[in-house]
Structure 1
Amino acid sequence: MSAGYVPLKVEGAAEEGVIALSCRLENQSAQQWKPSDGLALGWQVYDPESSLFIQEGEWIPLKENIPPGGYTDFAFRLQIPPYPGTYRIYVSLRSPAGWFFARGLPMLVVDARVDDFGRVYPERTRITTLRRLRLLNVPDSLRRIAQRFVSVLWGNRALISSMVKRDLQARYRGSFGDVLWTVLNPVLLMATYFFVFGVVLQARFANDPSSAGFALYFLAGMLPWLAFAEAVGRAPASMLEHRNFIKKLLFPVDIVPVTQTLAALITEAFAVLIFIGFVLLTRGSIPVTACWFPAILIPQVLFTLGAAWFFSALGVFVRDLGQIMGYVLTLWFFLTPICYPETQIPAGAMGILGKNPIYTLVRSYRAIFLENQAPAFASTWKLWLLSVLVCAFGFVWFQKLRKTFADVI
Structure 2
Amino acid sequence: MVSVEDAWKEIFKKYDVINKIDKDGYFRITAKQINEYKESRLMTKFDEHSQMPQIFRNNKMTIISDSRGSYIIGRFALFSSVNYKNTDDRPIEPVYLETLKIDDLYNESSSMLYAYNSNMMRELFGTNNVSFTSYGRMGAGTFSFLTDEIDKKGNPTGRKFTINANKPQIEIDGAFETEESFFIVEAKNRYVEDINLRQIYYPYRLWSSKINKKVVPIFMVHSDKSFYFYVLAFDDEGDINSVKIVKSYKFAPADEPITMVDVVNEFSKITPSNHIHSNIFPQADKMEKIIDLLNLLNDRSDVTKDDITDYFEFDRRQTDYYLNAAAFLGYVTVIKRGPLSISKTGKNSMDKTIRERNIDLIKAILEDDVFYQTFDYLLKNGDMPDKEYVANLIRKYYPEIENKETPSRRAGTVVGWVKWILNLTEP
More strand by share: 2
TM above 0.5, one fold? no
Task: Tell me the TM-score normalised to structure 2 length.
Answer: 0.24
Give the structure-1-normalised TM-score. 0.25
Whichever structure has more helix as a proportion of its residues is 1
